[in-house]
Chain A
C-alpha cells in the first residue's frame, strides 16, 4: 500500500464549509437570544415560595382520598369511551381520504394535491380550539369530545394512511390488471390485504394518543375526567386530585401496554 495515499478531495468542499458555518452561526444566535430572554423574564422570587408550595400540596396529593373512587372511575371510563368513539370515527373516515391523498391512487396531480391539502388543513386546528367550537355548537358533554377527537385524529390518520398506500407493492396491482380484474376487485384483492393491517396499527397508536388527549378535553367542557380536574383544582382538593392523576396514569399505562402488544402482532 502507498503510504501517502489520499482520497480524492470531496467536491464542493468549500461551499459546504461556508454553508455549515452559516447554519451554526444562525443557530447560535437564536439560542443566545432565546435564553437571554428567558433569564430576563424569570420572576426569581418564585423560587423562594417553591419549597413552601411543594410542602403544602405534594403530601396531600400522595395522601389519596379514596372516597371519590366511584365517581372518578365513572368519569375515567367516559374518557376512554370518548377516545374510543372518536378514534373509531377517524379511523373509518380517514380511509377514503387516505386514498384521495395517495399519489399512486389519484392520478391527477391537482386532485391529489387537493386531498393532501385538505388533510393538512384539518391538522392545523388545535384540539382545544376545536373542542371549544364543538362545546358551543353541540353543547357541553361527551358528544363534543367525541367529535373533537374524531376530527383531529382524522387528519393525522388520513396522512399516515396515504403514506401506507403510497408504499404498497404496485406490481401486485399490475398482476391483477393483467388477469382481467376490475378496479374494485383490485382494491379488495391487491390493495386492502397490503394496507389494512397497517391501517389498524396506526389507528391503535392514535387511540393511545387520544386517551391522553381526551383527559384534558373536559377542561373546556367537552366531557370526561377533565371537568372534574378543573373543579377539584379550584377547590384545592389535592387528595381527590391525587386520585384522579393516579387513575389517569394507570389507565394510560394499561392501554398503551395492551395496544403496543397488539400492534406488534399486526404488521
Chain B
C-alpha cells in the first residue's frame, strides 16, 4: 500500500512539482495517472522510488516512511519498487539475457554480480519472465537489434525479475506506435492481474487510460484534480483535468483502427 500524506515537492529552481498530495493506492490496483506534460505525473511516480525526493510531508510504502531512507535501505526500497521507462533504458550493447538478469542486481552481492555468478534459480526466473512477454527466442540477441516494442517487453521482463511488489511505468508507450502500445499495455495489465503487483502508469492518451485502468488519477499543476474508478470517468472529466476541450492528439486509437490504416 502506498500512502501520500500532504506530500509537496519544490525543485531547487523554485518549480513546484507536487502540491499537498493526499492519496492512498491499494495493493494490486492498476492506476493510471493522466495529465498534460508538466502536470507533475513523472514527479509523482518518481517520488515513490525516490528518484526524486519530496520536500514536505510523509510518503508511506508498506507502512514505512520512505522519504528519509538512504544508502542500503534506499536500494532495498528500489528492489521492491520496479520501474519502466519511456525509452526502455536497456544497455544496447548487452544481450537480452544480461539486461534481464540485471533486474537481480539489487538482490545479488557485488562480487557475484561482477563475475556473472547468478544462482541457477535467478537465471530460470529471468528466462521465465522473458517467456511471459514472449521474448524468449531473442535471449542471446543484443538489445539494440530489437524493435521498440520488443525492447519495452524486455524491460518488463527485467522489472519482473527483480520481484517487485509495485511497478511504476513512466510513459511506457509514448515512443511506440498504436498496435505496439496496446500490446505493451496488455502485458502490463496481465502481470498486474496474475501477480497482484500494484501498477502505476503515466499516460497522456485518454482512450488507453480508460481501457486498461481500474482507477484514474488526474493531475494538473502538481495537484490531484480527479481521483476515481474508471466507471465514474467520462469525457467531461478529462476536459476538467486538461482544462480544455479534448483533441484528437489525446487519443492513441484502438488496435483495429491502426491495423486497417
B-binding residues in A (CB < 8 A): 169, 171-172, 174-182, 184-185, 188-190, 193-194, 197
A-binding residues in B (CB < 8 A): 49, 51, 75-79, 82-83, 85, 87, 89-94, 98, 102-103, 105-108, 110, 113-114, 155, 158-159, 162
Instruction: List chain A residues, Cβ under 8 A from B107.
Output: 180
Is there an interface contact between B83 and A175, defined as CB atoms closer than 8 Å?
yes
Q: B102's contact among A169, A174, A176, A184, by CB below 8 Å, is which?
A: A176
Is there an interface contact between B162 and A180, defined as CB atoms closer than 8 Å?
yes
Instruction: List chain B residues, Cβ under 8 A from A194.
Output: 91-93
Closest 9 CB pairs of A and B: A180-B106, A175-B89, A180-B79, A181-B105, A180-B78, A178-B83, A180-B75, A171-B89, A185-B105
Instruction: List chain A residues, Cβ under 8 A from B79.
Output: 179-180
Instruction: List chain A residues, Cβ under 8 A from B162.
Output: 179-180
Q: A180's contact among B76, B92, B98, B155, by CB below 8 Å, is which?
A: B76
The CA-CA distance from A169 to B106 in the complex, in Å, is 21
Instruction: List chain B residues, Cβ under 8 A from A188.
Output: 113-114
B187 smallest CB distance to A (angstroms)? 18
Instruction: List chain A residues, Cβ under 8 A from B106.
Output: 179-181
Known contacts A181-B75, A189-B91, A193-B94: does B110 contact A176 (CB below 8 Å)? no
Pull 17 A–B residue pairs with CB atoms less than 8 Å apart, ordered by A: A169-B89, A172-B90, A172-B91, A175-B155, A178-B51, A179-B82, A179-B83, A179-B103, A179-B162, A180-B78, A181-B75, A182-B75, A182-B105, A184-B114, A193-B94, A194-B91, A194-B93
Instruction: List chain B residues, Cβ under 8 A from A184.
Output: 110, 114
Is there an interface contact between B78 and A182, defined as CB atoms closer than 8 Å?
no
The CA-CA distance from A172 to B94 in the complex, in Å, is 12
Instruction: List chain B residues, Cβ under 8 A from A171.
Output: 85, 87, 89
Residue of chain A at shortest CB distance from B77: A180
Instruction: List chain A residues, Cβ under 8 A from B77.
Output: 180
A209 smallest CB distance to B (angstroms)? 26
A129 smallest CB distance to B (angstroms)? 40
Instruction: List chain A residues, Cβ under 8 A from B159.
Output: 179
Known contacts A179-B158, A184-B110, A189-B113: does B102 contact A197 (CB below 8 Å)? no
The CA-CA distance from A180 to B49 in the complex, in Å, is 10
Known contacts A189-B105, A193-B93: does B51 contact A177 (CB below 8 Å)? yes
Instruction: List chain A residues, Cβ under 8 A from B108.
Output: 185
Residue of chain A at shortest CB distance from B113: A185
The CA-CA distance from A91 to B21 in the complex, in Å, is 52
Instruction: List chain A residues, Cβ under 8 A from B76.
Output: 180
Is there an interface contact between B89 and A185, defined as CB atoms closer than 8 Å?
no
The CA-CA distance from A139 to B98 in the complex, in Å, is 49
